[in-house]
């Protein structure tokens, strides 16, 4: 039986795009997840911090914004949520252009591996999550037009926050301080080859040649994918990214 996909127009990272998800995923995966967060809020009687974690290329930013939109459309069934990204907690572009880290035994500029775990200000992210759980806070975003961080861009007061990112469950120094702040988590598993093609296609769409896109994937993206897939802690739920861009619960 063929899936029935529904199409939505959404703004993701400052750009409007058409996205589609199957009715099956919406009713059997997404809505049950939103109900779980609603139940958690009622049980804990406080703000809930949830994580949506995925390797690069899995579409987590789009999915998080869709879950926010879906929660508002179904507000008679579930508590509305607020989707936030962790990309606003990169170090600034200026800092990354002059600061080096060690990778594979060599010193490299942060800017050359932008998006790797080492290019995030973990301490600031931890502080912001703690503030958000208490009385609310301001939240940084990453502006893809200027390729830099915009600090304190959003005011965050909602009771259920869904933070999306690659490394929120990473079992590495510093990131464990982030992981323990989450009340509930979803991990998106995906075939590395599927992620490779999605990431290379994204770079080409952004103006890179095929050769340039493959070179960046081999130097940076592939290593980040491996770290996320192999070194993330167990999540409360695991979803699978399918070749057609849809999701199913494992």
Q: Are residues 91 and 121 in contact, defined by beta-carbon separation less than 8 angstroms?
A: yes
Q: Are residues 56 and 115 in contact, defined by beta-carbon separation less than 8 angstroms?
A: yes
> What pLDDT shows up at residue 13?
64
* 53 domain-assigned: yes
* 125 domain-assigned: yes
Our count of domains for the chain comes to 1
Which whole number is the average pLDDT over 128-148?
A: 91
Confidence of residue 14 (pLDDT cuts 50, 70, 90): low
Nearest C-alpha neighbor of 102 from the set 84, 116, 88, 90: 116
* 106 domain-assigned: no
Which whole number is the average pLDDT over 211-223?
A: 91
Q: Are residues 148 and 92 in contact, defined by beta-carbon separation less than 8 angstroms?
A: yes
Q: Give dist(CA 206, CA 223) in Å, integer.
A: 21
* 209 domain-assigned: no
* 153 domain-assigned: yes
* 112 domain-assigned: no
Residue 15 has pLDDT above 90, yes or no: no
Confidence of residue 192 (pLDDT cuts 50, 70, 90): very high
Taking every pair of C-alpha atoms in the chain, what is the biggest distance, in angstroms? Answer: 55
pTM: 0.94
> What pLDDT shows up at residue 145?
85
The enclosing domain of 61 has a CATH number of 3.40.50.300
Residue 155 has pLDDT above 60, yes or no: yes
Residue 143 has pLDDT above 60, yes or no: yes
Residue 207 has pLDDT above 90, yes or no: no
Q: Residue 11 sits in which domain range?
A: 5-89+119-191+235-244
Which whole number is the average pLDDT over 166-186?
A: 97
Confidence of residue 83 (pLDDT cuts 50, 70, 90): very high
Nearest C-alpha neighbor of 168 from the set 160, 179, 177: 179
* 85 domain-assigned: yes
Q: What is the pLDDT of residues 41-55, one digit of tens each?
A: 999 989 999 999 999
Q: Are residues 80 and 160 in contact, defined by beta-carbon separation less than 8 angstroms?
A: yes
> What pLDDT shows up at residue 31?
98
> What pLDDT shows up at residue 205?
82
* 178 domain-assigned: yes
């Amino acid at each position: 039986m063929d899936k029935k996909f529904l199409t939505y127009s959404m703004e993701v990272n400052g750009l409007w795009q058409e996205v589609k998800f199957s009715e099956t995923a919406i009713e059997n995966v997404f809505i049950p997840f939103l109900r779980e967060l609603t139940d958690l809020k009622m049980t804990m009687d406080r703000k809930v911090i949830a994580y949506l974690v995925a390797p690069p290329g899995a579409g987590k930013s789009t999915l998080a914004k869709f879950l926010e939109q879906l929660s508002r459309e179904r507000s008679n069934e579930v508590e509305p949520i607020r989707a936030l990204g962790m990309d606003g907690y990169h170090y600034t572009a200026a800092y990354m252009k002059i600061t080096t880290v060690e990778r594979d035994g060599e010193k490299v500029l942060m800017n050359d591996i932008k998006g790797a775990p080492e290019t995030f200000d973990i301490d600031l992210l931890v502080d912001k999550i703690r503030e958000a759980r208490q009385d609310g806070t301001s939240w940084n975003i990453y502006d893809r037009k200027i390729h830099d961080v915009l600090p304190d861009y959003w005011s965050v007061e909602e009771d259920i926050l869904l933070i999306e990112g690659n490394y929120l469950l990473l079992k590495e120094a510093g990131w464990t301080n982030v992981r323990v702040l989450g009340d509930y988590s979803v991990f998106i598993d995906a075939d590395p080859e599927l992620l490779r093609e999605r990431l290379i296609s994204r770079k080409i769409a952004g103006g890179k040649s095929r050769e340039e896109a493959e070179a960046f994937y081999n130097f940076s993206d592939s290593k980040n994918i491996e770290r996320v897939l192999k070194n993330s802690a167990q999540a409360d739920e695991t979803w699978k990214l399918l070749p057609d861009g849809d999701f199913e619960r494992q």
